[in-house]
Amino acid sequence: MLIINNFSKTYKGGKKAVDNISLKVEAGDIFGFIGHNGAGKSTTIKSVVGVLDYEEGEILIDGHSMKKEPLICKKVIAYIPDNPDLYEHLTGIQYLNLIADIFGIPAAIRKEKIKKYADDFEITGNLGDLVSSYSHGMKQKLAIISAVIHEPKLLALDEPFVGLDPKAAVVLKKIMRELCESGSAIFFSTHVLDVAEKLCNKVAMIHHGKLAFSGAMEDMLRKKEGGSLEEIFMEVVNHE
Amino acid sequence: MNNIDVKTQTKNLCWLLVKNRLMAQLGINVFRYEKDTHKRNSKIATTVAIIICVIMLGGYCGGMAYGYAYLGMMELIPSTAMVISSLFTLFFTMFKANGELFGFKDYDMVLSLPVPVRTIINSRFLNMYLWNTFITSLVMFPMGIVYAFFAKPALGFYIMWLVGIFLTCLIPTTVAAVFGAIITAISSKFRYASAVSTILCIGFVIVFMVFSMTITTTDTGLGEMFNSETGDIDKEAFSAIAPVISDSLNQVYPPAKLFTKAVVNGSFGAFLIFAGISVGWYGLFVLLLSVKYRQINTALTSHRSRADYKLETLHQGSMLFALYKKTIMRILKSTVCATNMLVGCVLAVLLAIGMLIAGPEKVVQSLNASDYMYIVKSAACYVIAAMVCMTNTSAISLALEGKNIWLIKSLPISPKTLYDSYLLTNLTFTVPTSIVCSVLFSISLKTGFIGTLIMILTPLTFSLFTAVAGIFIGNRMAYYDWQEETQLIKQSMMSGIGMLGGMVLISICGIIANIGILPITTNMITFILNILFLILTAVIYLNESNRGVKE
């Protein structure tokens, strides 16, 4: 579903944020992307979803190049940034309708999906309010609903659990699992290593822009007998 | 800590807040620390453009004062200087009241700091005062120099004029803040607060314009100011009309009378009354405001949340229409954006209605230019176009996405669809306005079939051209990391070029068509210009449609 080949990203001024990384996310995967602050996680995710342009390497979504066929790629992906800046001048339902219109979701299906997810997140009553009146967590919930109503083949999330209350975090994990069971792939960054360890079947660790590990979660945990993902992460970070 | 220490600390805190605000407004850190050369150069270019405007404003005011002095109307200089600077202050403050004095972005953060509320208010007013004093000095300094050069006044004039520069903006600042507070207080009670605020702001401007036009109207036509035989300026006629204009200016702004009396007659008493009223009024306002300041801001920053929405039937729409709806709502729900962007359309409609009610003959006659009615007829389409095309929302639409740009870039939206939505938004404002104004002008000027056709076609052509040119500008100059809309709307190059560029270009076309330098009729020149601009519009549109969204 997602193939990243020899991808590098250099910002203006010569700073190399990501240095020659390659990884593969397959349908049904919940792929965790971990690393310290400034390691290059967000840069990679933003490039995967087409927010950032890139010069080196290749990013393929469902077999299509994000660089050459961005519209085809974007039709099957959904992205939720770490800080969801949504259109604050719209109401929640207007925002969801905007996204649904962009993806061409028929009226009946969008109503069914919105109802299901908004009820799960308990924000149906707030959909008539302006987004500007929403708390960070509510914006996050709205962003998640807007991301999943078109059943994306690849869902890319940047720190999705930040700002969510415990109940909403459970709902999100349930949605992630349901999507994977229906054949979609999840690629998400997180600092919450316990969640990554329990939720993901695959994991990649990025350190100073370079890939320190990429593979199955079991293989990662096998690196340190009886150790947790957190302990392995700390070992990598401190081993400089 | 003793009282002196507390006072010193409070004073420093106030200055600290003002300094922080000035740094944000002037973008000093962009000059000093920005590594992105494109951003830095863009900031430098904007600053240079602002400096040029500042020099032009100063030069214009100095030139105006020189004109008065040349015509022997020197006593008009002080009151004119005061009225112009007060009007600048009034509009500048009123449109900035919401967001600068009330409901500002970092309100929660500032209020959580150990800073007294009075200090916060003082810092906000001090910031506004510094800007208004700067604008006042741009008007009064050159005019004062010209006055001093011609009138050769006593030493007292220099003292009073200089101190006057620092006092002039106090009253209009508070008057504007009161209006701004009333507008924001009323609008905050509505769900669509920004839309209500926009309507009230535009309404205020219209009422003010009608009011000032009513009380400054004189029966003396411009034609009477010139010698009918030689065509030279009649200085005596100008001197005779000076007291009438002076009275009108004093009617518009009564404190101008005191200031004029002080500097022209050397009356320190009048100056002290003027200073007392200015400072007293200002101090009283800040004192009263500090009592209710927290409540006003809380009301403004609190959002209405009903939480009683019930999901009903939803409708599917096209991607273009969805983006169009989003963009038009974005513009209309932002007071800063709507008031600045729509002012051209509003003025055009006002002019067209005024022309219809007063009649073109009266307007032309008052200019003593009855013989040139045919020029007025053929130039009218350019006047409409120039005013309407000041509304160039497409130039700023992309940049307006701001922090939301991630959505546009991550969603499957083709650049062409996005640009089309921006164009449609722009044309929603300009096309109906152009047609309405053209029809009203055609009726009042009694143009023939061809004249009416040209009258309608020209503003429409330029509306299309400027909207497409706006996309071209926006896609090259847009930036997304702005902090406040005011920065983008009032201080950015793309907004300036979008609003004024079209106006300048249309004016040049109007001059070429009407001064008779080409051996064909004005209507024919206008028609050819229309065709040329339509071709140019199509070329730019096709080129932009294939261009990606700016990084």
Chain B residues close to A92, C-beta within 8 Å: 309
Interchain proximity B409–A51, CB inside 8 Å: yes
Which has more confidence, B488 or A156?
A156
pLDDT score for A94: 92
The 10s digit of each residue's pLDDT in A26-84 is 999 999 999 888 889 999 999 999 988 888 899 999 999 998 899 999 999 999 998 88
DSSP characters over B400-418: HTGGGHHHHHHSS--HHHH
> For the residues B147-161, what does the mean pLDDT come to?
89
Count of CB atoms within 10 A of residue B250's CB?
A: 19
Chain B residues close to A100, C-beta within 8 Å: 314, 316
Chain B residues close to A126, C-beta within 8 Å: 305, 307, 309
Q: Which two tokens stand for residue B151?
A: 């009138």
Chain B residues close to A104, C-beta within 8 Å: 316, 319
DSSP characters over B253-294: -THHHHHHHHHHHT-HHHHHHHHHHHHHHHHHHHHHHHHHHH
Residues 8-67 of A with CB under 8 A from B: 12-13, 46, 49-51, 53
Q: Return phi, psi of residue A79, to 5°.
A: -135, 140
Q: How far is A133 from chain B (nearest CA, A)?
A: 5
Q: Which two tokens stand for residue A114?
A: 């919105």
Range in B284-293, B298-307, B421-430 the model is least confident about: B298-307
> Sorting pLDDT into bands at 50, 70 and 90, what band is B11?
low
The 10s digit of each residue's pLDDT in B41-90 is 877 887 888 888 889 889 999 998 998 888 888 888 888 888 888 888 88
pLDDT score for B1: 45
Interchain proximity B316–A100, CB inside 8 Å: yes
What is the C-alpha radius of gyration for chain A, rounded to an integer number of angstroms?
A: 18
Output the CA torsion sign for B149, B153, B158, B162.
negative
Amino acid at A45: I
Q: How far is A220 from chain B (nearest CA, A)?
A: 31
The 10s digit of each residue's pLDDT in A111-120 is 999 999 999 9
DSSP characters over B90-132: HHHHHHHIIIIIBS-TTHHHHHHSS--HHHHHHHHHHHHHHHH
Residues B447 and B1: their CA atoms lie apart, in Å, by 79
Most confident range, picked from A223-232, B100-109, B161-170, B233-242: B161-170
Select from A45, A68, A102, A150 the residue whose CB has the most chain B CBs within 10 Å, as the one to mutate to test that interface. A102
pLDDT score for A145: 96
User: Among partner residues B403, B413, B414, which is closest to A85 by beta-carbon distance?
Assistant: B403
> Sorting pLDDT into bands at 50, 70 and 90, what band is B95?
confident
Amino acid at B444: S
Q: Does A221 touch chain B (CB under 8 A)?
A: no
User: Among partner residues A46, A106, A124, which is closest to B309 by beta-carbon distance?
Assistant: A124
Please answer whether residues A92 and A128 qualify as being in contact, where contact means their C-beta atoms are separated by less than 8 angstroms.
Answer: yes
- Nearest to residue A146, comparing CAs of A100, A178, A201? A100
The domain segmentation of chain A, as residue ranges, is 2-76+152-238, 85-151
B335, closest residue in chain A (CA to CA): A89
Interchain proximity B35–A111, CB inside 8 Å: no
Strands (E), chain A: 2-10, 16-25, 30-35, 56-61, 64-65, 77-80, 154-158, 185-189, 202-207, 210-216
Residues A169 and A166: their CA atoms lie apart, in Å, by 5
Count of CB atoms within 10 A of residue A40's CB?
A: 26
Interchain proximity A111–B311, CB inside 8 Å: yes
- Average pLDDT of every residue of chain A: 89
What is the C-alpha radius of gyration for chain B, rounded to an integer number of angstroms?
A: 26
pLDDT score for B78: 86
Interchain proximity A79–B410, CB inside 8 Å: yes
Q: What percent of chain B lies above the pLDDT cut of 90? A: 30
- For the domain covering A2-76+152-238, report its CATH number: 3.40.50.300
Interchain proximity B304–A107, CB inside 8 Å: no
C-alpha distances out from residue B271 to A29, A75, A224, Å: 80, 71, 85
Give the residue carrying structure tokens 């949504």: A86
The 10s digit of each residue's pLDDT in B526-539 is 999 999 999 999 99
B308, closest residue in chain A (CA to CA): A125
Q: Does A106 touch chain B (CB under 8 A)?
A: yes
Chain B residues close to A46, C-beta within 8 Å: 406
B333, closest residue in chain A (CA to CA): A89
Interchain proximity A50–B323, CB inside 8 Å: no
Residues B208 and B469: their CA atoms lie apart, in Å, by 33
Question: ipTM of this model?
Answer: 0.86
B313, closest residue in chain A (CA to CA): A111
Q: Which H/E stretch holds residue A73? A: helix A70-75
> For the residues A182-191, what does the mean pLDDT come to?
93
Q: Does A128 touch chain B (CB under 8 A)?
A: yes
Chain B residues close to A77, C-beta within 8 Å: 410
Please answer whether residues B20 and B104 qualify as being in contact, where contact means their C-beta atoms are separated by less than 8 angstroms.
Answer: no
Output the CA torsion sign for B44, B50, B52, B54.
negative
User: Among partner residues A49, A94, A126, which is closest to B410 by beta-carbon distance?
Assistant: A49
Range in A38-42, B6-10, B251-255, B508-512 the model is least confident about: B6-10
DSSP category for residue B446: T
Select from B194, B196, B314 the residue whose CB has the most chain A CBs within 10 Å, as the one to mutate to test that interface. B314
pLDDT score for B304: 60
| Strand A185-189 to A154-158 pairing | parallel
Interchain proximity B406–A118, CB inside 8 Å: no
Count of CB atoms within 10 A of residue A61's CB?
A: 26
Select from A45, A91, A94, A101 the residue whose CB has the most chain B CBs within 10 Å, as the one to mutate to test that interface. A101
Q: Does A86 touch chain B (CB under 8 A)?
A: yes
pLDDT score for B458: 95
User: Among partner residues A13, A49, A53, which is closest to B551 by beta-carbon distance?
Assistant: A53
Chain A residues close to B413, C-beta within 8 Å: 102
Range in A176-190, B103-117, B462-476, B483-497 the model is least confident about: B103-117
| Strand A30-35 to A56-61 pairing | unpaired
Chain A residues close to B402, C-beta within 8 Å: 85
Strands (E), A51-190: 56-61, 64-65, 77-80, 154-158, 185-189
Interchain proximity B307–A125, CB inside 8 Å: yes
Please answer whether residues A194 and A230 qualify as being in contact, where contact means their C-beta atoms are separated by less than 8 angstroms.
Answer: yes
Select from A82, A89, A103, A122 the residue whose CB has the most chain B CBs within 10 Å, as the one to mutate to test that interface. A89
